[in-house]
Amino acid sequence: MMYSLNEIYSLMLKAAIGSGLPMGLAEEVAAAGQWLLCHRQDGVGAVHEGLASKLVVWTGPSVLDHVIARPNGDPVEMSLVDAPLLFLGMAGVVSAQTRSQIQIDFSNGTHATLNADGIVLNGTLQTDCGASITRGADFSGLPPRYHTRVHVDPSLFQALMMRAALTYVPATEASRQRGAGAGLTDND
């Protein structure tokens, strides 16, 4: 089914919060999924996988902050990448924000480069392998235009909806009296 990019971003954000992530990490996960969707990758599937495994969700942003803080060409090692596509999305967001090329060499021989044009992937992503991440040269120019409508697999959409539902307040008389929902009358 087709959805707007903003609608899917909001769903991924709610699903991440419903999975128990703090707001900042939830925003990182949703932004990574959105970046992947903009570059014609399975961002929704990557978010779903990452929320199930959680290692990259918790460590990925810190590792990438460390990469950006180091001089160009100085690699940072990550011993285990359990959701590699989500990690590529996180690296893509950081690349776009810092206008720096990021190179990732996975221990299985797969190589990824993220820059203004998106992602160049040589090899096959595998879960549970290590990675060496390096900041490359800065780039300039305008980023490419992105599409705003995306196709999402209905089963993945439903799986994220179930996680997002964990953020909803139960509809009970007691919750309405405490301020949830529209209240007891329509005049408040």
For the chain, 188 residues long, give each residue's pLDDT as a single digit of tens: 889 889 999 999 999 999 999 999 999 999 999 999 999 999 999 999 999 988 999 999 999 999 999 888 899 999 999 999 999 999 999 999 998 999 999 999 999 999 877 899 999 999 989 999 999 888 776 666 677 888 889 998 899 989 998 888 777 887 777 777 665 565 55
Is 47 a member of any domain?
yes
Give helix 5-18 / helix 154-164 axis angle, nearest 10°. 50
For residue 40, report the phi and psi dihedrals to the nearest 5 degrees: 60, 40
Is 141 a member of any domain?
yes
Structure tokens at 64: 């990438």
Q: Cα–Cα distance between 157 and 147 in angstroms, integer?
A: 19
Domain count, the chain: 1
Is 181 a member of any domain?
no
Structure tokens at 29: 């996960």
Residue 113's domain spans which residues?
Answer: 2-169
Q: Cα–Cα distance between 21 and 45 in angstroms, integer?
A: 18
Is 179 a member of any domain?
no
Is 56 a member of any domain?
yes
Beta strands in 7-128 (DSSP E): 76-81, 100-106, 111-115, 118-122
